Amino acid sequence: MTDRLPRSVIEPKNPKLNVSRNANLPHSPGIRVGDYIFLSGMGPVDPVTGRRNLGPIAEQIRQTLRNMAHMLESAGSGSTASSK
């Protein structure tokens, strides 16, 4: 294939949520390619302290999805555009 869609890295606007960079892990927070955005697995990181927000599962899910929304908004998308 010569005419591939462009592939670019997505970073969260809030650097405290940039787990892969802060912990020097070998993945990107997200990859954008054409009309699609691929996000790495995310956990309940506190956007103020950057530490894991350990708590009841409901709280962890809420925090993770908030962080996911932040990632998508950082890429110019939104949680209503998720398909998987």
Footprint on this chain of another protein (rule: CB under 8 A) = 1, 4-5, 7, 9, 25-31, 33-34, 36, 38-41
Nearer to another protein, 14 or 28 (CB): 28
Residue 43 CA to residue 51 CA, distance in Å, equals 10
Nearer to another protein, 14 or 20 (CB): 20
CB of 29 to another protein, least distance (A): 7
Residue 27 CA to residue 40 CA, distance in Å, equals 8
Nearer to another protein, 19 or 53 (CB): 19
CB of 75 to another protein, least distance (A): 11
Burial (CB < 10 A; 0-12, 13-18, 19+), residue 62, is middle
Do residues 71 and 31 touch, judged by C-beta distance below 8 A? no
